[in-house]
Structure 1
Amino acid sequence: MRAPDEAEFTEFAASTIRRLRSTAYLMCGDWHRAEDAAQDALVKVYRRWHRIDRTQGLNGYAHKCLVTAVLDQSRRPWRREHLVDTDDHTTPLHDPAGTIDDRLLVVEALAALPPSQRACVVLRHYADLSLEQTADVLGIGTGGVKSQTSRALTRLRELLDHPERSAT
């Protein structure tokens, strides 16, 4: 890669990594997997950097790579195993407003959605992609994005109105 391209990519990666990581976290519910997915996405962007049309949405392509990375991770059998740490060494944070609890409820509710619905909601309402951009990232039609998002929002409302149901 040429030096100007390298510098441009480095600037893009530095400005995008936090957002990609946060988006991935909302899709998978695990910060370690989110970090891996964001890095995998940036590696894919780097490999195709000289071929990507920067006027047509570099962020869209990065999000497409991110969604693919998150979904690929979820298909790996070793990723489905969850280790349980029985020793909880963390001390509870003082959160008088309950905002941490609210965020955790939303993340748990998102985790209860099927992957396609979760991706639609996260890309549309967190990553702030347009209907067309979301459809392009997910490789489905705009009608599919609309119906998946509608179903997801309905289910999220149910889960957040009755948090005890998120485990089902």
Structure 2
Amino acid sequence: MPAWHRVLDEVLHDRRSALVGYAALFTLDRRDAEDLVHDAIVRTFAKPRALTDVYTAEGYVRSVIRTMFIDSARRTASWRTKVHLLADTGHARSPEHATAAALDVRAALAGLTPRERAVAVLRYFDDLTVPEVAHELGLSTGAVKRYLFDATAKLRTALGPDVLPHDPDAAVESGSHL
């Protein structure tokens, strides 16, 4: 039996309850703490590591617990800032409304030039930055900003002024010509 098997057994049998108690300080919920400990143990022992004693392994698992909790909190905060883009939480919409909205968006996108459409999709759907869009399409950042400005104006005209979030990258400096 490899040494890490013995260490894993000791962590699971002797230190698991202490680890769950530690995780509960972060999650404030025992079930979430147990899930966090489980995930941290899996992440810790999924790769070969030089964990030869239970105390070193426990310290490593505690570090993974902290990291996973912080990463999860960041993902949740990021999700909260973007969830409004996916659904209107004010009221449930019918499938017919969703179909009509999809057709409206498709028609609005059809009114864009191919470059405007590509820039808008990469910027607003794939959430790429202007330099990333420029790299992806082989354009200058100034050209991307111009296409984005034009596409945003056309989309707002077709779909309404509040359909797209304010995007400072969609603004073109006055006097710039391509």
TM-score normalised by the chain length of structure 2: 0.37
Larger radius of gyration: 2
Higher RCO, 1 or 2 (CA under 8 Å, sep at least 6)? 1
